[in-house]
Structure 1
Amino acid sequence: MLEKKKNLAWLIFIRLVVVSLFLASITYFNIRQPDFFPDVMLRDVTRLIIVTYLFSILSLTSLRFPLQIVSPLGYAQIIWESLFVSILVVITGGISSTYPFLFNLAIINASYLFGRREALYTAGICGIIYGSIIDLHYFGKLENIGLMRPLGNIYGPNFILSLIFTNLIAFFLTAILTGYLAERARKSETALKEKEIDYEELQRLNSIIVETLDSGLVTLNSHGKIRVFNRYISQLTGVPQKNAYDMEFAEIFPEFCLADISNHINNRIEISYTNSKGDKLSLSLKYAPLFNNDGERFGAVIDVIDMTERRDMEAKLMKSDRLAAIGELSARIAHEVRNPLASISGSVQLIAESAKIPLEDKKLIEIVIRETSRLDSLVTEFLNYARPRSPQRSWFSLNLLIDDLIALLKGDVRFFSIIISLDISEEIQLFADRDQLHQVLWNLILNAAESMPEGGEIFIGSWWGRASISENYGSMRTLNLTIKDTGFGIKCTDMSMIFEPFFTTKPGGSGLGLATVYRILEAHSGTISVDNEYRLGTSFTISIPVPLKV
């Protein structure tokens, strides 16, 4: 109905243009030849045109009303156009009028607005009206309006019949032809709309599928320019989708050569990638060329999967397996080493109690006792790392634990020049193993203090992170605790090894401090991360899930 309303508006507008041109033409000819149109005829035609203007304007105004008025208003246009041409034919001479062809415009408009059937009806009505005008003129029935019978008698009956017949045939041929073309156009338009709807639906469906994929999708044209860049790969790389369009693939993946992956068609290759945020990712890419119906290559599609979490999980599993093996080995070593150490220490202590031992030998014996004690402590520490006990969870105050650790640190003369800043604004209760958390925080605070032999500042702050669900404890929140120092920091080459057992940069260090911290947090389902700037300081952040209730 909206389409018909639009068509009707165009029809009325075109009629106004045609009538205006008609008025201009007769005015022009009358100026050039004052006797071209008699005054009475010119006056009547002008009045007819004015009435047509008024009717057209009224019709355009009526289009503002509800859509139900469109069809009746369309029929009114066809009726008026038929009347307009009929009156014009009567005014301009009846049989001798040159304007009967204008009936075809009414027929064309009927087919345009409604279809072939209405066009045939209009052709029949126009034929009846035109035939009646000619007959009435011929038999002198229109003398009182200026169409005299003598003018009609100039033409014989054969001419009158042929004139009516010829125009009638023209009307129906116009109706048939324009009706056929109008129906073809209407069917084509309907089919086109259906295809447009189908295309839009397919395009929308395709867009939804591409945007909801849980992997990155990139399509390239034949010149290697990006054409599709879905939301997943946009979030992965940090490049906005609108900016990625028409970029070179190498602009987003500078570490990567497209020619390399094109040699691995339908096979995945894995690359290391650093996105715009500085995150280091492990990406798996699969390249597949695109071909048209002629078999010509016109682009490529690349599937991208983020393997970072999977690789991290594999590394953790490998590390856990390695630690399990170390644990078994450490238990045997402890059994084989600690018993002889105890025997050696006991025997040497008995020897030292003898009065016959020279003073120099006693000093050597003291060294042996001290070193066996240190070795026993190292074995114990290694056992705690390799085979840690399960956490004995209970509720305790994190604030009180940190206060105890700060007091312990300030009691050491080495750290008198260190300032400790706290940003823990609320009372925090943890559900964890207090002794193990004590060990974790003490190792981190002690490392921070030892990295600033000439003094500095240690900052301890906390904030709550995201919520999660645990099978054992239900709803949980993550507590993040940061311990930051202003010391020398860690060398970039050492960053990947700081949680490895026996790795240390401190003279006399066992290399088990941070490794033990990592193991304890792992047993608490927690994590630890490092933010380091060499010679400017290091920040360790531990994250521990805390149940809302137990």
Structure 2
Amino acid sequence: MKAAESAPESSSSTERHAAVEPPPALPWGSSTELAWRVLALVNLFRLLIPLLLMVLYWTLEPRLVGQANSQMFFVTSIAYFLFAALSIPSVKRRWPDRLVQTAFNVGIDVLAISLLTYSSGGMNSGLGALLVLPIGAASFVVGQRLALMFAAVAALALLLQQAFTTLAATSDPGDFASAGIVGALMFIVTLGVAPLARNLRESEERVRQREVDVANLAELNQFIVQHLRESILVVDDHDTIRLINESAASMLYGNPVPAGVPLSEVSPRLLYLLDTWRRHSYDWQLSSLSLMTFDGSSLVQPHFVSLRSGGGGGPTLIFLEDTTLIAERVQQSKLAALGRLSASIAHEIRNPVGAMSHAAQLLAEAPQLTPQERRLTDIITKNGERVSSIINNVLQLSRRDSTRQERIELNGWLEDFVGEFRQTAQVDASKLYITTSAPELEVRVDPSHLHQLMWNLCENALKYGRKFDSNDAIEIRTGRIATSERPMLEILDRGPGISQPDAERIFEPFFTAGKGGTGLGLFIARELAQCNRAVLIYEPRQGGGSIFRLVFADPQRWETQ
């Protein structure tokens, strides 16, 4: 049925892609981004020129500008500046049409610069050359014919002002040549800019076409991603989700997640792991850096792939892999390898370590030893005991029998276990107690595995879960996960807690943050949990302390398999 249903959906998607066509080429009467940018830059030119000319008028002696008619020079400069200032809102709002603005602005430029040139004594002032920039810029905005007309009008304006200047006897008739040269220069610039403007127009068309292609590819990618069985998402360099399929959204959030949502709102833990991978991808600890699903039912292992060539930064593709079934499949092979390793350890290391420790004990009994020598023998003895403890833990893990699960009532089993533990560890009932939110809580687990796991966790809580000179109580809490109704068991303490870097590695073998530990207790506890399709996780406790949560498999689910 799924295949049959997906066919019309794929067909409709194909129709959508076929319907997306590139837009027609924009006529020159339409506004484009390039044209408005050019108009904005030319308007900036109009703002700066009057200011610069006024500064030259007041600072240079003899005056190079405004000397022929200072009153006209001042009035024209001020009016030109005010026109440029008033044009700023028009350019920003892009109204009226850019062709209208260009024609009107060029007319003002020709008039203002011609008057400034006339009031400064004609072409010998050099101000006529200022028209080259507005005329050349207009060639980017309008067609070639209209641009040539602007150049012709500007050239005639310069010749006309030169004629009036000559008649007023404030200029040499030979300056007509300068006016002609500047006019010819404007024609040359207009003709030279035309090919560049044409190339820019073609580039704009190619960009628009690529935008359509990118939109089509994005829609196709979205379709493919949503129908993948694997759980994947794409995060950009600002940690915003760009693509996420239904499987990943259900795993991380429990509900659909639209694109554009920050990753921190969906899964802060995944954001932390992503940041860790970006900073330390060369030392990525795949065995310990994982996260829980939204309903707390299983562990998820993320795999990160940079979409930027060369790696590092940029958009990142994240694969989310449910490790529960994988861990179950590799468990037997792992135990077989561990068994061979432990046998070698027992044969090659245990006897020499025992002999070394025994020799150190005999040496410590010698009466003639100095305090320094006794301290050294004590170091040998303690480290020998630690090595022996590591060997015993590895042997205990590798020699355990295959899993023999039974249905047990968790609360009743815990009462017996806590009573045994209190008697063995000499712990008062007020310092280790049970609370439950579910009167009857059945789980399917191997009782011997659960006993060993709980003993390790309770011993750690007594040893590390209480602050110095503190008598804080340790709580064992049972209940169900709210979202999935899976049975769970928690051990809570009010100790110093575990730092964030250490929390990422506490389930690694031989890792310990304290002194004297072997670093195998939590590793063995998680292995025992995985053997019983359960999940053991750590999280900091609000207000200080630690929580170790054991989430059991649903007994009804596994009973039928």
What TM-score results when the alignment is normalised by the length of structure 1?
0.43
Highest CA radius of gyration, 1 or 2? Answer: 1
Higher relative contact order (CA 8 A, sep 6+): 2
What TM-score results when the alignment is normalised by the length of structure 2?
0.42
Name the one with the larger strand percent: 1
